[in-house]
Structure 1
Amino acid sequence: MSETRVPAWQPVLSGDEAGVARRAVGDIAAALASGGASLDHDLADGAAGVALLFGYRARITGETGHAAMAAALLDRAADRVARAPTSPSLFHGFTGVAWAADHLRGLAGDADPACNDEIDAAVDAALRCPAGVPGFDLVTGLVGLGVYALERADRPLARRCVDRVVARLAATARRMPGGPAGSEGGPQHRPAAQAVWTAPDRPDRLDLGLAHGIPGVIALLARCASGSAEAAACSRATAATARDLLDGAVGWLLAQWRPGAGFPPRIVGGRPAPRRRAGWCYGDAAVALALIQASRVGEPAWRSAGLGIARASAARPACEAGVRDASLCHGAAALGLIYQRLYHATGDPLLRDAARRWVLRMLAYRSDRHELAPSAGFYLATREAPRAVPGLMNGAAGIGLVLLAATTEIAPDWDRALLLSGG
């Protein structure tokens, strides 16, 4: 299959729909600007993640007030980390704050590669300590540190961190003989020695989500492997190791796909768990995007498989997705953004239509209830009651960023931290 990609970022909303979305972004920014002092530091739900919204607003509008707000939020996040040291976790620790600061400086054309050299050293120290990184995943573990280091791969110590991450992934991979190349009627892949990873405290649990599981490893390895656009950031040995692991991980993943059922969120004790709500953290659309990213190492069959999975996911009725709110982690914003990325990666109009539908569905979740005003009427669905959340992954900032992506020609490259782009 020849590769088709949309060369420049294109918004999926226009006219009155785009106007409604832009007004919602303005309301979100106004609500968040008044509540920044109470935020914690982190990328997932704290000041670092909210800063991304204001940084992108500044890039799009040119308004210095948005840039000043982004800088103030990053300063607040850095101060909190300095006063109460945290783990190296990308989503909840100090690397997420550093990643956001680096990314926004680059977005503003004010890059300062040396500014996070001390963070690079801290990450390197954590990777040299066997107990320094508790797991393998994107949110708290090795994959997240790899994302941080790849963003700074022009710095020697950050490149060494990439090498260490891939080496640790190789050392902790469970190798299994290659089985069938896929289920009957499903995506096919040549037999190979398969590779999987498990959390240290749950060796019986294989996770198939982008946030905590093997698809996240695949998306990171795809950026490091021989043949990828970013392989130059790695040593030859690291790129070769990443490619070998990538072959094994993709082989295992494709063997888990089932016609009509897709991918389970996890396999526990050899038994697939029931499908849960679709989103960024779990779901076929995110897995499809990881496969398409991986195919860029020169594996067109992976692209074909990913596109087929993406199209099947997009055709599924919204009522089957289990989505209950507008959030970026596991709500409508996640699917709106992922389908935008899938459309730009493939040029498939079906995926563009899916992106538009989910962005509009995200807007439809907005409430005018007074008690939800701190997040401009967008809320997180919980078992107890709807909750107003300001942050990136579960709150208004992430929703605002997805709306900006849907209405402007500025690519949402902040989603590199979510492994939705890069390479």
Structure 2
Amino acid sequence: MEIKEGGSVQFNQPHQSSLARQALNDIAALLVKDAKQSLEQQGVGLLTGLAGQQLFFWQLHKQFPELACQHEFSARMTLIEEQIPFLHSQFAFGYGLTGVAWLYEFFLHEGNYQAEFNHNTDVLLLQHLQQNDWTGELEFIRGLSGFAVYIARRQTAELGLPLAQALLTLLEQQWHQFADGTGAWEVATNSFFRFNQATDDPECNLGLAHGVPSIIASLLPLLAHQQLHSQIQTLLQASCQWLIQQQQTSEKFGSCFAYITEQPCQSRLGWCYGDATIALTLLRVGNAINRDDFTAAGKNIALKAAQRRLKSSQVQDAGICHGSAGLALIFQVITRYYTESTLSQAAQYWFEHTLALYQTSGLDGFNAVREQDNSNCRLQDHGLLGGYAGIGLVLLMAFNVETNWLDALLLTNN
């Protein structure tokens, strides 16, 4: 059973609340002004485009309805609806059909739920998953792990179970079991996300965005299908045992995990890669299938991650993907499973760092660091995963706005 209660980041100084509200106002105003430009540059996707911005406006309206114009919201939904026919062959959760369909599911679950609304998406996705030889990605942004997030929201729909079964079949086919009984998913040699493009040697990715943790986390909510519970639990147990074995000496390298297997290094601390989301994933699995060893490993990794600060974290911006807002969010979710002051202090540290970026530079402080021409530069990003919309969602946490959207980032069940 998913744990729902947890502490919250707080406004410890009188000016912080008004500062956060001003930041939310500025984010909302910019997203409204740049809607068409954003559509052209970042599309309608959930993690990168207009759909993620709509999630921000939906949540913003709950706390500050005066900042979220209903007319603008409706106009933006129309823009998204007009693009849906062009997504029928692009299923990616990050920027394609399943992510947009997840947004509709989210809205519907908060009102008069109509399971039939996304039926056509279910039909298309099921056909896509029933191909005999899967050659697509397994990870979260483009691949099966992302599809699973949408499928989990469709549990009670007519095709909910067939979708989960089809997905599980593909993941079982791609799973590699090792001699010690553990197992994992390797990155395909033709994968866009492969680190070692020049070799065919086996490679396992250790990040929540593109690796084994993403598949583990995506399977968790599908345990709700009793018919699949045993199969999924088998995969979760063996894969988490394998994941724990991939730890490196944190005192030597500065982190418990690298980016991929067989290449030890200090990984950045973020949502996409690093110890924090691996710790959370192990805590969630341990809680779900009653594995105290997974829970203990998750706690140990989380405590070490919580001690890292700006210099050792490799944090360069504020976005959820690999920035300070993301770490504030992750450590807050971790406290739902492990109430330790070090963890809540880490959440507060990263939240206040995010606020400080805005206080110093306004919205420019929330610009994303991107690599261009072999050098880093700061660019506007309107999206959920790397930009303003996601940062705004994290700021809303401190106003106690519910975070019932976190399954979209593999951080909770829905």
Q: TM-score, normalised by structure 1?
A: 0.86
Residue 125 of structure 1: how far off its partner (Å): 0.7
- 2:198 aligns with none
Secondary structure of residue in 1 paired with 2:368:
coil
Query: Relative to structure 1, is the Cα distance of residues 133 and 28 closer, same or farther in structure 2, using a 3 angstrom cutoff?
Result: farther
- 1:104 aligns with 107
Residue 72 of structure 1: how far off its partner (Å): 3.1
What letter matches 1:60 in structure 2? Answer: Q
Residue 245 of structure 1: how far off its partner (Å): 0.5
- 1:95 aligns with 98
- 2:259 aligns with 265
Residue 132 of structure 1: how far off its partner (Å): 6.3
Query: Relative to structure 1, is the Cα distance of residues 384 and 285 closer, same or farther in structure 2, using a 3 angstrom cutoff?
Result: closer
Query: Relative to structure 1, is the Cα distance of residues 391 and 177 closer, same or farther in structure 2, using a 3 angstrom cutoff?
Result: same
What letter matches 1:54 in structure 2? Answer: F
2:34 matched to 1:35? yes
Residue 273 of structure 1: how far off its partner (Å): 4.3
Residue 386 of structure 1: how far off its partner (Å): 1.0
- 1:244 aligns with 234
Secondary structure of residue in 1 paired with 2:15:
helix
Residue 397 of structure 1: how far off its partner (Å): 0.5
- 2:321 aligns with 329
Residue 84 of structure 1: how far off its partner (Å): 5.8
2:277 matched to 1:286? yes
Q: Which runs of structure 2 are paired with 1:26-65 in the superposition (5 Å)?
A: 26-38=25-37, 39=39, 40-63=43-66, 65=68
Output the CA distance in 1 between the equivalents of 2:359 and 2:10.
23
Residue 367 of structure 1: how far off its partner (Å): 7.5
- 1:122 aligns with 124
Query: Relative to structure 1, is the Cα distance of residues 136 and 6 closer, same or farther in structure 2, using a 3 angstrom cutoff?
Result: closer
What letter matches 1:79 in structure 2? Answer: E
Contact 2:137 / 2:144 at 8 angstroms: preserved in 1?
yes
Residue 86 of structure 1: how far off its partner (Å): 4.4
Contact 2:47 / 2:95 at 8 angstroms: preserved in 1?
yes
Output the CA distance in 1 between the equivalents of 2:187 and 2:158.
30
Query: Relative to structure 1, is the Cα distance of residues 307 and 384 closer, same or farther in structure 2, using a 3 angstrom cutoff?
Result: closer
2:305 matched to 1:313? yes
Query: Relative to structure 1, is the Cα distance of residues 273 and 367 closer, same or farther in structure 2, using a 3 angstrom cutoff?
Result: farther
Output the CA distance in 2 between the equivalents of 1:137 and 1:124.
18
Query: Which of these residues, 391, 394, 398, is aligned with residue 390 of structure 2?
Result: 398
Residue 78 of structure 1: how far off its partner (Å): 2.7
Query: Relative to structure 1, is the Cα distance of residues 259 and 132 closer, same or farther in structure 2, using a 3 angstrom cutoff?
Result: closer
Contact 2:7 / 2:335 at 8 angstroms: preserved in 1?
no
- 1:223 aligns with 221
Q: Where does structure 1 lack aligned partners over 5 or more consecutive residues?
A: 179-192, 226-230
Query: Relative to structure 1, is the Cα distance of residues 64 and 20 closer, same or farther in structure 2, using a 3 angstrom cutoff?
Result: closer
2:410 matched to 1:422? no
Q: Where does structure 2 lack aligned partners over 5 or more consecutive residues?
A: 195-200
Secondary structure of residue in 2 paired with 1:306:
helix
Secondary structure of residue in 1 paired with 2:236:
helix
Residue 266 of structure 1: how far off its partner (Å): 0.7
Output the CA distance in 1 between the equivalents of 2:61 and 2:399.
13
Output the CA distance in 1 between the equivalents of 2:341 and 2:173.
41
What letter matches 2:229 in structure 1? Answer: A
- 2:85 aligns with 82
- 2:244 aligns with 254
Aligned length: 390
- 2:197 aligns with none
Query: Which of these residues, 182, 202, 205, is aligned with residue 203 of structure 2?
Result: 205
Output the CA distance in 1 between the equivalents of 2:137 and 2:236.
18
Contact 1:338 / 1:420 at 8 angstroms: preserved in 2?
yes
Query: Equivalent pairs: percent with the same residue?
Result: 27
Secondary structure of residue in 2 paired with 1:29:
helix
Query: Which of these residues, 266, 269, 287, is aligned with residue 275 of structure 1?
Result: 266
Contact 1:280 / 1:330 at 8 angstroms: preserved in 2?
yes
Output the CA distance in 2 between the equivalents of 1:368 and 1:79.
39
Contact 1:150 / 1:159 at 8 angstroms: preserved in 2?
no
- 1:194 aligns with 182
Query: Which of these residues, 339, 346, 349, is aligned with residue 347 of structure 1?
Result: 339
Secondary structure of residue in 2 paired with 1:206:
coil
Residue 135 of structure 1: how far off its partner (Å): 1.6
Residue 7 of structure 1: how far off its partner (Å): 2.7
- 2:366 aligns with 378
Contact 1:9 / 1:409 at 8 angstroms: preserved in 2?
no
Contact 1:51 / 1:71 at 8 angstroms: preserved in 2?
no
Output the CA distance in 1 between the equivalents of 2:271 and 2:81.
27
Output the CA distance in 2 between the equivalents of 1:284 and 1:380.
22
Contact 2:49 / 2:384 at 8 angstroms: preserved in 1?
yes
Secondary structure of residue in 2 paired with 1:91:
coil
Contact 2:50 / 2:80 at 8 angstroms: preserved in 1?
yes
- 1:171 aligns with 173
What letter matches 2:151 in structure 1? Answer: A
- 2:161 aligns with 159
Query: Relative to structure 1, is the Cα distance of residues 83 and 242 closer, same or farther in structure 2, using a 3 angstrom cutoff?
Result: closer
Residue 43 of structure 1: how far off its partner (Å): 1.1
Residue 325 of structure 1: how far off its partner (Å): 0.5
